[in-house]
Amino acid sequence: MILINFFEPETSSWQPISLAQLPSVLSADARVWINLNDASIDEQQQVLQRFAIAPTLVEDFIRERHPPKLEAQDNFTLLVMRGYADIDFSEYISSAQVNLIYSKQVLVSRIDCHNPQLLAQLTPNIDSKHGAIISDWVKQIIITVSASYLEKLINFEDEQSELEDAMLHRGNDEQMALIMRYRSVLRKINRNLTYQKDIFADAIYEEQNPLLRNFTETELRDFYEKFERLHSMTDLYYDQLSDLVQGYLSTTSHQINERMKVLTMVSTIFIPLTFIVGIYGMNFINMPELQMNNGYFITLAAMAAGGVAGLIWFKIRGWW
């Protein structure tokens, strides 16, 4: 389904219209927002062909999943972004895919987001009494995309601190599994943030960048700093979680070594005793010690003395 909102300069109001009612030539003050969230591929192609948008932009726009991208041809600019739509970092379902094609007068949007609250924030706000500058809508969408990550990252800081304290005192495999899930999610969103950070980094230093058509250098630098900060935060949290994993593995390895040391000392003490038991357990006829009246007690005393001597030796060497 195609939803078209047309701002009529003569009446200074927004009106829902059909594609057939859309003027072939827009007046200088007219504005059009076309919402293709629920449109089929054929309907999307129909709308984009109506504005004679280049096939390469059309192909990228209608693709179900596309990494963040910026491209421009003629008067239209394609901007693809990804927001974070899940509640937290414990589970990653899918990103909020934001596909925009816009000019000074036209905005075509397709937003795929399973989070209703974020979807509402990404949807342009139609004011029936006033017109709108398309670049302001695009700017608001960019800021909303960055905020979708920032809120979760700020909340995650406290959660990670609690997890770090828990791992320090009573780390277990369940917490390790949670850490691995967090690392997986952070790695995925870090890729999205890298793409989006690079988009605005290139826009700052390229004189012919299409974003310069609609935004000032100050605004582009602000966009870049937002995504660069988000990217740095995800890197920091990922490294901290990696440190927790390494710390847990080191602690577990140390505990295993301590247990192995105890088992080794026990084995070192009992192997000689087992050797003595093995000798006197042989069924030879000529074993003089078997005829001794106190042989049993002497053997037990020798075995006890050997065990105690072993323990004393471990204590002197600092192994126990």
d(CA 108, CA 25): 17
d(CA 260, CA 64): 55
Residues constituting the chain: 320
> Under CATH, domain 3-251 is a member of which superfamily?
CorA soluble domain-like (3.30.460.20)
Going by pLDDT thresholds of 50, 70 and 90, the confidence category of residue 128 is: very low
Share of the chain above pLDDT 70, in %: 94
Q: Which sequence spans correspond to the domains of the chain?
A: 3-251, 262-317
CATH of domain 262-317: 1.20.58.340
d(CA 15, CA 32): 10
What pLDDT digit, counting tens, does each position of 82-97 carry? 999 888 888 888 888 9
What integer pLDDT is reported at residue 127 of this predicted model?
66
What integer pLDDT is reported at residue 194 of this predicted model?
92
Structure tokens of 278? Answer: 């093995």
Q: What mean pLDDT is predicted for residues 138-166?
A: 87
Query: What DSSP string runs through 126-156?
Result: --TTS---HHHHHHHHHHHHHHHHHHHHHHH
In eight-state DSSP terms, residue 214 is T
Average pLDDT taken over every residue of the chain: 83
Going by pLDDT thresholds of 50, 70 and 90, the confidence category of residue 156 is: confident
Residue 295's alpha-carbon distances to 218, 272, 287, 298, 301, in angstroms, are: 97, 18, 11, 5, 10
d(CA 210, CA 205): 12
Positive or negative torsion for Cα 86, 89, 92, 95: positive
